[in-house]
């Protein structure tokens, strides 16, 4: 039996070294692939979780955005005043939106509260509606402010025979101005149109209220009892 020579031993050692190194590299490649798969699975799980979370909070976000873009407060008072004064609740809400964006405030002209009622107008409403104990400070109370604003809106609609454009123009610019515009339109043998309003602010106001009214009818049907 022949003994292995030194040369053959070296060759075998190198061969085993190369084989072991190859297996090591193979194990390394498998390990990196497993890490990659784990990362991809983790990424996929994170994406799915984010999508589920977004779907869960989406209705709340939509509602929050809606309340910022088209706010609604004191809907119980609005419904009550609409029923009491035979008004469309969405029209009351739209007037409040255009006047104050549902924020209690006083304008530079002195108009007060949610429906921006002038002190002189409030005194007139109090006299006509029997508000013998009314004080100007009461206009800061949402229920009274909405009640007085709704009374005035109903009064204007009666005066202008249900013409919402004339009534809204009068709410913004005053009855005297609107009477002049209506007479001028009648003298031409034409119906009064929003385009006939010479005041840019009042013209935009009427358009804003009517547009908001349609949106309140669509987006707050249940809250306004429509």
Active site residue ranges: 99
Sequential DSSP letters for the chain? -PPPPHHHHHHHHHHHHHHHHHHHHHHHHHHHHHHHHHHHHHHHHHHHHHHHHHHHHHHHHHHHHHHHHS----HHHHHHHHHHHT--HHHHHHHHHHHHTT---B-TT--BTTTTB-HHHHHHHHHHHT-TT--GGGGGSHHHHHHHHHHHHHHHHHHTTT-HHHHHHHHHH-HHHHHHHHHHHHHTT----GGG---HHHHHHHHHHHHHHHHHHHHSTTTTT-
Check the CA dihedral 115-117-123-127 and report its sign: negative
Token readout for 6 is 């030194």
């Amino acid at each position: 039996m022949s003994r292995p020579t030194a040369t053959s031993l070296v060759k075998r050692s190198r061969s085993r070294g190369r084989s072991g190194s190859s297996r090591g590299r193979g194990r390394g490649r498998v390990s990196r692939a497993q890490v990659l798969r784990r990362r991809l699975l983790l990424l996929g799980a994170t994406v799915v979780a984010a999508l589920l979370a977004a779907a869960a909070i989406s209705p709340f976000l939509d509602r929050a955005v809606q309340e910022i873009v088209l706010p609604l407060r004191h809907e119980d008072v609005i419904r009550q005043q609409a029923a009491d004064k035979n008004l469309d609740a969405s029209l009351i809400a739209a007037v409040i939106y255009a006047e104050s964006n549902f924020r209690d405030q006083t304008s530079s002209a002195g108009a007060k509260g949610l429906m921006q009622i002038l002190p002189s107008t409030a005194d007139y409403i109090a006299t006509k509606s029997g508000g013998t104990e009314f004080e100007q400070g009461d206009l800061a109370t949402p229920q009274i402010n909405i009640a007085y604003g709704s009374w005035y809106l109903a009064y204007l609609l009666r005066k202008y025979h249900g013409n919402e454009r004339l009534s809204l123009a009068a709410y913004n610019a005053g009855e005297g101005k609107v009477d002049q515009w209506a007479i001028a339109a009648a003298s031409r043998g034409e119906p009064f149109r929003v385009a006939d309003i010479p005041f840019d602010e009042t013209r935009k106001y009427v358009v804003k209220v009517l547009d908001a009214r349609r949106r309140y009818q669509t987006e707050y049907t249940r809250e306004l009892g429509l």
